[in-house]
């Protein structure tokens, strides 16, 4: 899809986990429609490769080395963003991990880690950023959920339920702010099926899906959905679930 290159001019967008995959594609796509793109992740070298690429193509960007599960780091990043930009218009809660195993073979530490990164951290970011959006009377939160949020996936019980909790928290707070009359603050969740990224390369079901003729979504498909949900033209769209489930029926 081609969006007008000034569609999100002067909008400040924070994308978590943007060193690769869906987050990176989303950062590039938001920069291409003139948003000011703030990215975070744990790998400084990979982060700066993304900011270099955005800057080289004329985009505006800034990077923070930040582990989203470390709330002191998150608080420092948010304070700095507010000091520099004075606002946050778009939050893309994208950082996430997946670990697959039968539920009774899964290491408990891995289960805790999945919930920390996929559920607690994005909820903390909403908890901190939604009040800012309410105050500035403008904002879009876009959570990257999963098809697993709507149908629990065998072999991915912790992952599915972490994403399901994120989806429901987003729905609830989105409804709360709407009902309080803040009709320019939106919370929506994109639930992708399999997407061709590093994460999915490690999936036990990858070959099965591909051999069955199921194709994968591209990172650009998901990035385009983020842009679509970030536009003011969709000012009445909140609490939505955007399901992009190519290949999912083979799971
Ligand atoms: N690929 C799929 O099939 C698929 C399907 C449905 C939903 N999703 C969801 O889409 C999102 C992106 O997935 P992807 O496929 O693009 O995965 P990916 O290629 O593995 O990328 C994950 C990103 O998250 C970052 N990240 C992980 N833990 C982090 C932490 N604690 N703090 C900050 N950043 C962290 C990683 O950066 P660093 O490691 O450099 O910190 C990386 O940039 C995830 O939420 C995932 O659950 C993916």
pLDDT tens, 20-42? Answer: 999 999 999 999 999 999 999 99
Judge whether 93 lies within some domain.
Answer: yes
* Predicted confidence (pLDDT) per residue in 74-103, tens digit: 999 999 999 999 999 999 999 999 999 999
Atom number of ligand 1 nearest to Cα 95: 24
pLDDT surpassing 80 at residue 250: no
Judge whether 6 lies within some domain.
Answer: no
Q: Give me the CATH number covering residue 165.
A: 3.40.50.720
The answer to whether the CB of 76 falls within 8 A of the CB of 65 is: no
Mean pLDDT of 243-248: 83
* Residues in the ligand 1 pocket, defined by CB under 6 Å: 16-23, 41-43, 46, 67-69, 94-98, 117, 144, 146, 192, 194-195, 197-200
Judge whether 1 lies within some domain.
Answer: no
Q: Token pair for residue 181?
A: 């009359």
Which domain does 30 fall in, by range? 12-250
Judge whether 5 lies within some domain.
Answer: no
Ligand 1 center to 61 CA (angstroms)? 20
Spot the catalytic one: 64, 127, 159, 169.
Answer: 159
Judge whether 74 lies within some domain.
Answer: yes
Judge whether 185 lies within some domain.
Answer: yes
Phi then psi for residue 19, to 5 deg, are: -80, -20
Mean pLDDT of 210-235: 89
Q: Of 238 and 97, which is predicted with more confidence?
A: 97
pLDDT surpassing 70 at residue 251: no
Judge whether 3 lies within some domain.
Answer: no
- Strand blocks (E) in the chain: 12-16, 36-41, 60-65, 90-93, 139-144, 185-192, 241-244
The separation between the first and the last C-alpha atoms of the chain, rounded to the nearest angstrom, is 27
Judge whether 128 lies within some domain.
Answer: yes
Mean pLDDT of 134-141: 97
The answer to whether the CB of 131 falls within 8 A of the CB of 180 is: no
pLDDT at 1: 56
pLDDT at 106: 97
pLDDT surpassing 90 at residue 4: no
Q: What is the C-alpha to C-alpha distance for residues 49 and 45, in angstroms, rounded to an integer?
A: 6
Structurally, the chain folds into a number of domains equal to 1
pLDDT at 210: 82
pLDDT at 198: 95
* Predicted confidence (pLDDT) per residue in 56-75, tens digit: 999 999 999 999 999 999 99
Residue to substitute in 44, 67, 95 for testing ligand 1 pocket (most ligand atoms within 8 angstroms of CB): 95
pLDDT at 236: 82
């Amino acid at each position: 899809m081609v969006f007008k290159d000034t569609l999100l001019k002067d909008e400040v967008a924070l994308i978590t986990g943007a060193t690769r995959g869906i987050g990176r594609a989303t950062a590039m796509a938001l920069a291409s429609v003139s948003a000011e793109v703030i990215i975070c992740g744990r790998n400084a070298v990979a982060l700066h490769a993304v900011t270099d690429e955005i800057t080289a193509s004329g985009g505006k960007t800034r990077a923070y080395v930040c582990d989203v599960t470390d709330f002191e780091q998150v608080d420092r990043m948010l304070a700095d963003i507010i000091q520099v930009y004075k606002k946050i218009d778009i939050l893309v809660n994208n950082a996430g991990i997946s670990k697959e195993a039968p539920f009774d073979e899964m290491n408990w530490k891995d289960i805790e880690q999945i919930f920390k990164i996929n559920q607690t951290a994005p909820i903390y970011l909403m908890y901190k950023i939604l009040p800012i959006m309410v105050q500035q009377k403008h904002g879009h939160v876009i959570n990257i959920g999963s098809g697993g949020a709507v149908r629990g996936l065998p072999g991915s019980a912790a992952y599915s339920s972490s994403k399901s909790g994120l989806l429901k928290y987003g729905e609830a707070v989105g409804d709360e702010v709407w009902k309080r009359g803040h009709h320019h603050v939106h919370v929506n969740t994109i639930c992708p099926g399999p997407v061709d990224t590093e994460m999915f390369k490690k999936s036990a079901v990858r070959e099965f899906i591909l051999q069955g003729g199921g194709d994968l979504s591209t990172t650009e498909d998901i990035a385009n959905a983020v842009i679509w949900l970030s536009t003011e033209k969709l000012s009445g769209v909140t609490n939505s679930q955007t399901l992009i489930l190519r290949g999912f029926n083979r799971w």
